[in-house]
Amino acid sequence: MRYVELAELYNRLADTSKRLEKTDIIADFLKNTKKEDLENVVCLLNGRVFPLWDSRKIGFSSRLLIKAISSATGSSVDNIEKELNKLGDLGDVAELEISRKSQKTLFSETLTIKKVADNIRRLSDMEGSGSVDRKIGLVAELITNSNGTEAKYISRTVLEVLRVGIADGIIKDAIAKAFDQEIKTVDEAFDILADHGEVALLANENKLGDVKLKPGRPLKLMLAVLSKSIEEGFSAVGTPAALEYKYDGFRMQIHNDGKKISLFTRGMEDVTKQFPDVVKAVSKIKGKNFIVDCEVVGYEPKTGKYLPFQKISQRIRRKYDTEEMAKQFPVEINAFDLIYYEGKKLLSNRFEDRRELLKKIIKEIPREIVLSKLLITDDDKKVQKFFKESVKSGHEGVMFKSLGAPYKPGRYVGYIAKLKEVMDALDLVVVKAEWGEGKRASWLTSYTVACKDGDNFLEVGKVSTGLKEKFEEGELDNFENMTNELKKIVVSQKGNAVMVKPQIVVEVSYEEIQKSPTYASGYALRFPRILQVRYDKPLNEISTIGNVEELYKSQNK
């Protein structure tokens, strides 16, 4: 398939804000896509060249893209930067510069879907001397052979921000409609496979019922709904319920495929290299292959006291000196669920049965690997006591779990609820940043943050406090490191501000939520402050506009 067909589809999608219309447009396109192009098309429609579970990164910055556009069009870097300040989007700049070229390059080739996907994928594999020039060359080759529309979307794809208003939900609905499948079946397949392209291929072949769990390949984890009281917790999951501590660590899925142990965050990032101590502890679990759901919690090595998440969060980012980091910031595995064991997926098994099997295969070693604290009850007073014990131990609160519930990957299904001591902080994503002034002039120090509304992100305010000025290697919780990370995901700029790919999640406290016409959400945070950067939190778990509205109403009661 020619890439121009997909580029023209992007334009059609950008021209409508109606979700159903977008779904119909994509579904019709997929029906007419050849089988050999289907996986690439669906992946590219989502603005990606790798499936969600694949940890490879394109790693192509806006600075490199400027050089690639310059190489492909003959326009100077200075001129491209001037146009960027006017237009605010490098995709639009690429389209403009291609249209200004006096003639098509001699022997130019027609771009195909496969060619575009292959070139962009190759960017992730290039390292070492001369790799930057080779990366620029691969993207420049695509832009050179493109028309204006193609150049616009190639540029946006390498930056991983398409700006055509499509996301997971629309893609899944379109797959279901194109291949006459139940939306629920498509959803369930995607939550296990985390690959839109593979789901589309299976849907086309009517094989969604054949989806299998694969140890070594991460899946989406089951999610908990938020409860405001013990009564709400019981109401969500039923009585009696299993109560567990809600740990102030980070969620981890542990895979053993029989040959290798792999560790993934809730966002499916591979962190095996960063946690050699966890790999060692997990090797003692009985069984040839398994997938364990757990929370990894840090503790003070001298006192054994549990530590809050931010104290150990830097281990997620550190890919060198991991043994030394393990000594400085040791962790304890708190296992609470078993998803797969000895060749069998346990998704449909009752929670109490999965927990009983987990108990049999784990020999507890305090401060290394243990089972999560568990209480089965229907008594409010016992829950209150359990809650206080959890908080006193340094944790966040308690989890309510339905004893008879199956495991539903990627879902807020009402089988799990959480009750926290502090409930008014919001998990928000950075969508824009501004350069500082004075001694902060070399840093991005003011961050516009947004909540989630379905497939969209709605701004709720700016935050510029909470991060340290002092540089600390391996952490994002200072201005210099935050700036370095944000610069990698810049997608456009205008004046003093840069728009970034929604990727970095921050936990934000505030004094009050106010009604405001300034932001798309209709709300603004008064005196917001960053509490911590949530390296482990994926976008589908950030606070929603519904959460913001609830908190606004509750503060006014």
Residue 297: count other Cβ atoms within 10 Å of its Cβ: 26
Q: Which helix (DSSP H) or strand (DSSP E) does residue 377 occupy?
A: strand 374-377
Residue 130: count other Cβ atoms within 10 Å of its Cβ: 10
Cα distance between residue 123 and residue 139, in whole Å: 9
Contact criterion met (CB below 8 Å) for 339 and 213: yes
How would you class 78 by CB atoms within 10 Å of its CB: exposed for 0-12, middle for 13-18, buried for 19 or more?
A: exposed
Cα distance between residue 147 and residue 95, in whole Å: 8
Cα distance between residue 344 and residue 548, in whole Å: 41
- Give one DSSP letter per residue of 54-77, joined into a string: --------HHHHHHHHHHHH---H
What the block records as the tokens of 354 is 């999965």
Contacts of 489 (CB under 8 A, 6+ apart): 159, 160, 500, 501, 503, 504
Catalytic residue among 152, 246, 373, 401: 246
Residue 384: count other Cβ atoms within 10 Å of its Cβ: 12
Cα distance between residue 10 and residue 14, in whole Å: 6
- Give one DSSP letter per residue of 286-298, joined into a string: SSSSEEEEEEEEE
Contact criterion met (CB below 8 Å) for 97 and 119: no
Q: Which is nearest to 47 in space by CA: 136, 152, 123, 156?
A: 156
Contacts of 41 (CB under 8 A, 6+ apart): 1, 6, 29, 30, 33, 113, 197
Cα distance between residue 141 and residue 144, in whole Å: 5
Cα distance between residue 282 and residue 248, in whole Å: 20
Is 311 tagged catalytic?
A: no
Q: Which helix (DSSP H) or strand (DSSP E) does residue 80 occupy?
A: helix 77-87
Longest dimension (CA), the chain: 80
Catalytic sites, residue numbers: 246
